[in-house]
Structure 1
Amino acid sequence: MSIAPIILIVGNIVARFNLKTGQILAYAKEFIPSNIYTTFKPILVSFLQSGGSGSLSIGIVVTIWSASQIIAAVRRSLNEAYGVKNAQGAIVTRLMAFVLTLGLLLLIVGLSVFFTLSQVIMDAILNITNTSKAFVPVWWSRLLANKNLITFVGMFILALLLYYFVPNAQVKLRYVWIGAMTTTVGWIVISQGFRIYIELFARRITSYQTIGSLIVLMFWLNFSGILLMFGGVVNATVQEWFEHEIRPKSPRVMKRLRRRFSKKNN
C-alpha cells in the first residue's frame, strides 16, 4: 500500500530538483531484484518524470495512513524484542509515523540530490575559482562512481534511524549499528539471491510477466520484513548482553506536565 505513494512523493519532489531519472534508477537497480525492476521500471520512470501537486497530495495522505500502520506493527515487534511495553497511544504512534515517514522521504531525496548534483556543484566551484580538476581528490570521484557503495550507505542510514527511533526502549547507538549492518548486508544478499534464483529456477513464474513479478515482489517484501525484525532482535540481544538490562523510554513530557500540575495544586 505504501510503496506506490512513496514513489509518487519522491518522484514529485525529485522532479522539482530537475534530477536525472537515469541516475536515480541506477541506484534503485542495485537493491531491487532484476525481474521486479524490469517490470516496474516504466512505472518508476512515469512517476519520476511526471506528476502534479494533486498526485503529490494524494500520495502524502495515503503514505502517512499506510506508514502509520506499518510503523505501529514494526514498533510492536521491536518492543517485544526488547521486552518493553508500548507506553504511547494511537495518536502518538500516528505522529511518530508521520515524522518517520517525512524523515525517510527527506533522507531519500537528500541522498538523491547530493549524489546526483554533487558533481555538478563541484564543477561549478572549480569554474568559479578557476581551479583545475586535477585538484579534486581521487577518492571523491571514485565514490560518486561507485553506486553499490552509495546504495549500501543509504540503506544502512535508513536502517540505523529506524532501529534507533522506533522502539520504545532506551536504545544506544553503539549497539544499534550492529543490527543495521546485519539488515543492510542481508537485504543486499536477499536481492542478489532472488536475482540468481529467478534467472536459474523461476523462469516459469516470470513467464507470467506482471503477475509473476508481483508474486516475486510479495516474497521479496516478506523476506525483507523478516530480515528487518531479525536485525531488531540482534540489537536487543547485543544490548541486553552488555547492559544486562533494557529500560523503556521515560515519558519526559508527561512527567513535566504532572510536575507542573502538582506544583499548581500545592
Structure 2
Amino acid sequence: MLKRLSHSGFDLLIRFFQVFKYLNFKTLIKIVRRAAYHRLPGLSAEIAFNAIFALFPAALAVLSAIGLFELSENNFRTLTNQVSQVIPEQALILTSDALQYLRSRSSQSLFSLSFVAAIWVSSSVTGATMAALDQIYRIPRDRVRPFWQMKLIAIALALGTVLLLVAALLIVVLSDITVQIVAFQSGSFAHVLFQLWHHLSLPIALSIVALALGFIYRHGTSHWKHGRPIMPGAILAAILWAILSGLLRFYVARVSNFNQVYGAIGAVIVLLLWLYFSAFSMLLGGLFNSVVGEAMQKKIDRE
C-alpha cells in the first residue's frame, strides 16, 4: 500500500513538472486567443460584481468564526496587517466600521446568523465561477450540471473556501505566536527569526491561495478529465494575483488618488478593481490548465 502511494505521488510530481515544458510562445498566443474567445474580462467582471455583494457577509462570517477563539487585540492586529499586504488600503477602509462593530458584539450569535447568510450569498460567486470554468474547459451543454446540482456544489465550494480561509488565518496567528515564543527563548537570534517569518508569511499565504484555487478548479467544472493539470494553473494564478494586487496597491498609493477623482466612492472603485483582478487571475489559471491539458492530450494521442 505504501509503495503504491509512493509511486502515485512520484507520478503526480513528474506530471507537475512536465506541464512547464509547455510554457512557450505558442502556448502564450493560444491562451491570449482563448481568453478573447471566452470573453475572460467579461466573465471576470461578472464574478467581481457578484463578489462585491458577498464580500461583507463573508468577511463577517470569517471574522465571527475567528472571534470564537477569543483572539487578543494583538492577534487581531496581526491578521489585519497580513491582509493589508494584499488588499489596497482604500478597500480595507470600507470594512473598518464592520470590523469594529464585530469586535464589540457576541461572536456566537453573529457566527450563527452571518455564517449561514454568507454561505448562501457567496454561492452566487462560486456559481458564476463554475459557469465560467465550464466555458473555459469547453464543457458540452449536455454535460453541464443541472441548476439544482450546480447550486448545491456552489454552496459546498463556498463553505469549503470560507473554512479554508478561516484555517489559513488561524495558522497565521498561531505561527506568529510560535515565532514570538521561540524568538523570546532564542535571545540574540530574535531579530533573525522575525525577519525570516516576515519573508515567509507571503509565500505561505500564496500557497494557501493556490490550494484553494486548486480545490475550485477540480470541483468547479461540470466534467473533469483525468490527467488535466490542476496545481500549475493554481500556482500561476496565485502568483499573478499577488503581482496584480501589488501593482494596484502601488498605483493607488503612489500614482493616483481615487478619492479626489471619484469622491466618496473611490474606495468602492478600488475594491471592485481588486475583485476584478482576483477573478481574472483565477480564470486565467484555469485557462492555462485547459490549454496545457489539451496540448498534453494531443501529444498522448499522437504517441
TM-score strictly above 0.5: yes
CA distance in structure 2 between the partners assigned to 1:232 and 1:209 by the alignment: 36
Partner of 1:5: 57
Q: How has the CA–CA distance of structure 1 residues 158 and 133 changed in structure 2, closer, same or farther, with 3 Å as cutoff? A: farther
Provide the rounded CA distance (Å) in 1 between the counterparts of 2:237 and 2:104: 31
Aligned counterparts of 1:155 and 1:175: Cα–Cα separation in 2? 17
Deviations 1:71-124 (A, max 9, x none): 222111111111113442222222212221221122111122223124656899
Of residues 90-99 and 200-209 in structure 1, the stretch that sits farther from structure 2 once superposed is 200-209
| Separation in 2, partners of 1:3, 1:218 | 11
Task: Verify the 8 A CA contact 2:67 2:107 in the aligned structure 1.
Answer: no
Q: Secondary structure at the match of 1:31?
A: coil
Quote the Cα distance in structure 1 between the aligned partners of 2:210 and 2:193.
20
1:92 alignment partner in structure 2: 149
Match of 2:245 among 164, 176, 191: 191
Q: Which amino acid aligns with 2:256?
A: A
How many residues align? The count is 241
Query: SS of the counterpart of 1:18?
Result: coil
What residue is the counterpart of 1:106 in the other structure?
A: 163
Q: Would you say 1:241 and 2:241 are equivalent positions?
A: no
1:60 to 2:112 alignment:
no
Matches within 5 A, 1:221-236: 221-236=275-290
Asked which structure has the greater RCO (Cα within 8 Å, sep 6+), the reply is: 2
**Greater displacement, 50-59 / 88-97:** 50-59
Do 1:187 and 1:224's aligned partners in 2 also have CA atoms closer than 8 Å?
Answer: yes
2:260 is equivalent to residue 203 of structure 1: no
Gaps of 5+ in 1: 126-130, 246-266
Note the 1:1-266 alignment, pairs <5 A: 1-19=53-71, 20-47=75-102, 50-85=105-140, 86-118=143-175, 120=177, 142-143=196-197, 146-171=200-225, 175-206=229-260, 210-244=264-298
Q: Which has the higher helix share?
A: 2
Local SS of the residue matching 2:85: helix
Counterpart AA for 1:83:
R
CA 1:118–1:238 in structure 2 vs 1: closer, same or farther (change >3 Å)?
same
In 1, the alpha carbon distance for the partners of 2:68 and 2:80 equals: 17
Alpha-carbon displacement from aligned partner over 1:170-220 (angstroms, at most 9, x marks no partner): 255771112112211111111111112212332153565641100121122
Does 39-48 or 162-171 show the bigger shift?
A: 39-48
Which runs of 5 or more structure 2 residues have no equivalent in the other structure? Answer: 1-52
Q: 1:93 and 1:156 mapped to 2: Cα distance? A: 23
Q: What percentage of residue pairs aligned between the two structures are identical? A: 22
- Matched-pair contact (CA < 8 Å) for 2:134–2:221: yes
Q: State the superposition RMSD in angstroms.
A: 3.3
Partners of 1:60 and 1:102 in 2: CA distance: 9
Distance 1:11 1:90, change over 3 A: same
Cα drift, residue 237 of structure 1:
0.6
Check whether the contact 1:183–1:231 (CA below 8 A) recurs between aligned residues. yes
Shift of 1:240: 0.9
Q: In 1, Cα distance between the equivalents of 2:227 and 2:101? A: 39
- Aligned 8 A contact 1:179 1:234 in 2: yes
- Contact in 1 for aligned 2:61/2:114 (Cα 8 Å): yes
How many angstroms does 1:41 deviate by? 3.4
